[in-house]
């Protein structure tokens, strides 16, 4: 008898909590939302986040504020969101590094597949091999010969182990079978400043960070990691054209902490979808060598599937390279 009463009370309590939760979700959002970018300001992930956040703010009727939490190749910022309150007010905009970190970091303090609720894919950005403008080699073929001859005397910037620039550099060094000296930054925004300043020789980074510098002649460009040349950089050969087996697209996704109310995720998905068809976002992305994903890809399911398959794909590549952060 006692047991039945207790069950009834517990049931009523749970129902009450669920009702409170969905009422809360209906009002969402009632205050500004923070989107953590796990790299420094001024870099490519930051650029994508700020463009998307601006339109999401308009759609949601609340400020969507970008917060840069750089360090440890994106794992510091991601770790911060993994343990944030799952109330829809702290999100993560990350890239391909979400799928490489579980293999690169053997003691990663979060699990990308269980500690986050995916909201949707955003875009996939090609990468470019670029160097300081007075770097000796002029073509991709010359760059390969130069790196092979000079090895560790060549300095290569990246945004930490787990970043796309580190991944691309690792693949490049494997392809040319030569190690360079790698220099980590909190993001490739500051890395690019040092390439332009001539303190570092080269980097492989998203077109969202390199297109204007290439067009302005502030850096020397050797190749783009897409299968086709880019419309706005028509003279830049693909890496395959230069004889290099290095094709990579840096996909970006938006996440909330795991356990976030499903109604909140749906509301955020709607706002993300609005951002990805916004004229300013579409045209700015195109200027930067990329396009938003389709509506079918800007969904929790598509992001979850991409994340799961990319974790498997990169596990094999990283284990074969034997490169680990710890």
Summarize the chain as % helix, strand, coil (round to 5): 45, 20, 35
Least distance from ligand ASP to the Cβ atom of residue 77, Å: 11
User: Shortest Cβ distance from residue 271 to ligand ASP (Å)?
Assistant: 22
Point out the residue whose Cβ comes nearest to ligand ASP. 43
Strand partners, 256: 117
**Residues with Cβ < 8 Å from 287, sequence gap 6 or more?**
211, 232
Nearer to ligand ASP, 45 or 155 (CB): 45
Which phi and psi angles does 323 have, rounded to 5°? -105, 125
Q: Which is nearer to ligand ASP, 219 or 264 (CB)?
A: 219
Minimum distance from residue 7 beta carbon to ligand ASP (Å): 51
Residue 147 beta carbon to ligand ASP: minimum distance, rounded to whole angstroms: 19
**Which CB, 50 or 266, lies closer to ligand ASP?**
50
Chain residues binding ligand ASP by CB under 6 A are 39-40, 43-46, 97, 158-159, 163-165, 187-189, 205-206, 209
**Structure tokens belonging to residue 7:** 């069950």
Nearer Cβ to ligand ASP (49/60): 49
Residue carrying structure tokens 């995916």: 118
We find the least distance from the C-beta atom of residue 203 to ligand ASP, in angstroms, to be 8
Task: Give 250's strand partners.
Answer: 125
**Looking at beta carbons only, is 38 or 120 nearer to ligand ASP?**
38
Nearest approach in angstroms of CB 162 to ligand ASP is: 8
Do residues 117 and 258 make contact, with C-beta atoms less than 8 angstroms apart? yes
Integer Cα distance of 253 and 28 in angstroms: 21
Q: Which residue has the tokens 């490489």?
A: 100
Alpha-carbon gap, residue 33 to 265, rounded angstroms:
13
DSSP result, 84-152: S-SSSSEEEEE-THHHHHHHH-TT-SS-TTTSEEEEEEEEEEEEEEEEETT-S--SHHHHHHHHHHHGG
Least distance in angstroms from the C-beta of 296 to ligand ASP: 26
Helix (H, G, I), strand (E, B) or coil at 256: strand
Q: Closest distance between ligand ASP and the C-beta of residue 44, in Å?
A: 4
Place of tokens 């770097």: 135
Question: Of the two residues 25 and 224, which places its CB atom closer to ligand ASP in the complex?
Answer: 224
- Name the residue nearer to ligand ASP (CB basis): 158 or 267: 158
> Which of 239, 260 has the CB closer to ligand ASP?
239
């Amino acid at each position: 008898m006692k047991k039945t009463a207790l069950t009834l009370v517990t049931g009523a309590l749970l129902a009450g909590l669920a009702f409170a939760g969905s009422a809360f979700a209906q009002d969402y959002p009632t205050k500004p939302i923070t989107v953590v970018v796990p790299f420094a300001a001024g870099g490519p992930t930051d650029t994508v986040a700020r463009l998307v956040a601006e339109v999401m703010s308009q759609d949601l009727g609340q400020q969507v504020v970008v917060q840069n939490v750089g360090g440890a190749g994106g794992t510091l910022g991601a770790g911060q969101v993994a343990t944030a309150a799952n109330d829809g007010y702290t999100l993560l905009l990350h890239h391909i590094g979400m799928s490489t970190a579980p293999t690169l970091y053997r003691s990663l303090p979060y699990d990308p597949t269980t500690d986050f609720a995916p909201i949707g894919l955003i875009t996939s950005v090609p990468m470019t091999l670029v160097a300081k403008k007075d770097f000796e080699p002029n073509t991709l073929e010359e760059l390969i010969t130069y790196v092979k001859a000079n090895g560790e005397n060549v300095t290569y910037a990246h945004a930490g182990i787990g970043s796309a620039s580190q991944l691309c550099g690792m693949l490049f060094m494997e392809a040319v079978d030569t190690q360079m000296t790698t220099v980590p930054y909190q993001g490739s925004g500051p890395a690019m400043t040092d390439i332009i300043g001539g303190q570092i020789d080269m980097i492989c980074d998203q077109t969202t960070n390199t297109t204007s510098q290439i067009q302005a002649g502030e850096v020397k460009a050797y190749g783009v990691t897409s299968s086709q040349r880019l419309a706005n950089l028509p003279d830049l050969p693909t890496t395959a054209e230069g004889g290099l087996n290095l094709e990579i697209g840096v996909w970006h996704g938006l996440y909330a902490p795991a356990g976030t109310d499903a109604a909140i995720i749906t509301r955020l998905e709607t706002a993300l979808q609005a951002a990805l068809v916004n004229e300013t976002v579409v045209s700015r992305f195109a200027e930067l060598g990329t396009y938003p994903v389709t509506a079918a890809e800007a969904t929790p399911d598509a992001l979850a599937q991409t994340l799961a398959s990319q974790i498997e794909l990169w596990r094999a590549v990283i284990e074969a390279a034997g490169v680990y952060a710890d």
